[in-house]
Structure 1
């Protein structure tokens, strides 16, 4: 019996930090009242052409539909999260989408054009990245591409930097209204230790990048797949947060784009 008690204590100690203190969840799957579409919580309203790379997408399947964000990384390519494309049969892609209901261009693509990471895990929230091929678009002041990090053997952790997240996610945890305009927020990038203290090291790997959500400013339901941009370069993709809500001060987690530059290049080419 003593041995068994010692074993349990040892297991609890070893697993502390591995297992999450709070349940991590993709923003798309957060429980909410009302519509899945809203705004960045407590963010600022974007002006037309401020984020020409921003993409909005309405995904559909035989069980329902959902809204996600994304970014235009080439005239034929949209970058988003795997949890957005997972299970979808088609997507309506909104480009030049400052006003959600009035995109400059709208395209429909089937799941044949989805390139979801083969090792995406909905259980551990790993490899949460997808590409979508769309008909070639013409760039303008309201539709344009965002740069990705250069291919390198080493990258900065970005810790201490401030980056911009944008999307049409909910304005608050209690919001039920649909967003009419794109929202954005400036978030502080923190070390993965801060994030793993909440979500555990089994979920927060080196392929994740995390930000603070001080003042209840956060990505939220509807922002899934959207871009996190630092100095004109996309460094993250909205991946997951705390299932308990967006306004409680828990970190936002993003797929770290630098971890997938080779994967992206293998699909879209140079």
Structure 2
């Protein structure tokens, strides 16, 4: 019995050693709101990330803020935990300063398409013409659906907070991150789905990897391979690795709903 008790204590200690993964809107008060964050990043210049949009969601007089990406003339992609329960969204196109967009569109909930289980949503929008400040980002080619992109460098952008104590950034920021092995996140959280991408954050660089729903775009080929999803309940400056939705896992679903494929 004594041996069994020791073993059980060991299991409990091992289980409690893992941090809890949480969507950014569910991070405890004082650590974050729905916004993810760019830390240790740098200001974007005009036209650097023409595919990013700001998303101002509304519900019952309140609101939340997320990022998203333009993937077609009439489509924006974001995280499901951003659209979940929201009634409408104002889409900010071509902005550097968060609310100073080239133009905006309002979209109601009937144009939200949410995945059944994955943290990914599509938003049907009015037609948008592309130019230097407003343009789409391409998705991975279907031939790359089994590419895990481990070791690849990528760009994350957003208007999220720059520290645990600060407010939402009014100016668009970017950070370069390296995609890690899923085992890094599995060791930290205890489990980690193959439908996710793990982003280690040494030295707090890229902590939270940008706003929830924002795009992770590889340097080589400029294709969006991830969507900002969750981080550690320990906070954005905890150095805990971050979880991104793996876009290649949803290429069929995106194609079936939008007709977009490569």
CA RMSD of aligned residues (A): 2.5
User: How many Å apart are 1:219 and its aligned residue?
Assistant: 4.5
The answer for unaligned runs of 5 or more in structure 1 is 120-126
Partner Cα distance (2:228, 2:17) in 1:
19
Q: Could you tell me which residue of structure 2 aligns to residue 253 of structure 1?
A: 243
After TM superposition, give the deviation of residue 34 of structure 1 in Å: 8.8
Alignment map for 1:115-154 (pairs within 5 Å): 115-119=113-117, 127-152=118-143, 154=145
TM-score (norm 1): 0.87
The aligned residue for residue 24 of structure 1 is 21
Alignment of 1:33-182 (within 5 A): 40-62=38-60, 64-119=62-117, 127-152=118-143, 154-176=145-167, 178-182=168-172
Distance (Å, rounded) in 2 between the aligned partners of 1:115 and 1:150: 22
- Name structure 2 gaps, 5 residues minimum: none
Match of 1:124 in 2: none
- Please name the residue that 1:262 is paired with: 252
- Indicate conservation of the 8 Å contact 1:165/1:229, yes or no: yes
Question: Which structure carries more relative contact order (alpha carbon 8 Å, separation 6+)?
Answer: 1
**What TM-score does the superposition give when structure 2 sets the normalisation length?**
0.89
Contact 1:61-1:88 within 8 A present in 2 as well: yes
Partner of residue 122, structure 1: none
In the alignment, the residues of structure 2 paired with residue 220 and residue 102 of structure 1 have an alpha-carbon distance, to the nearest angstrom, of: 24
User: Structure 1 residue 154: deviation in Å?
Assistant: 4.6
Tell me if 1:240 matches 2:240.
Answer: no
Check whether the contact 2:35–2:212 (CA below 8 A) recurs between aligned residues. no
Return closer, same or farther for 1:117/1:240 CA change in 2, 3 Å cut-off: same
Q: CA offsets, 1:187-217, max 9 Å, x none?
A: 111100001111121xx11000011212212
Distance 1:73 1:20, change over 3 A: farther
Aligned partner of residue 179 in structure 2, secondary structure: strand
Distance 2:34 2:225 in 1: 25
- Aligned position for 2:183: 193
| Paired residues of 1:58 and 1:92 also in contact (CA < 8 A) | yes
1:43 CA displacement: 0.9
Question: Given the alignment of the two structures, is residue 218 of structure 1 paired with residue 220 of structure 2, yes or no?
Answer: no
Aligned structure 1 segments of 4 or more residues deviating by more than 2 angstroms: 1-10, 28-39, 152-155, 218-222
Moved more, 189-198 or 154-163: 154-163
Distance 1:42 1:193, change over 3 A: same
Q: Which moved more, 1:152-161 or 1:192-201?
A: 152-161
Corresponding position of 1:183: 173
Contact 2:144–2:248 (CA under 8 A) maintained in structure 1? no
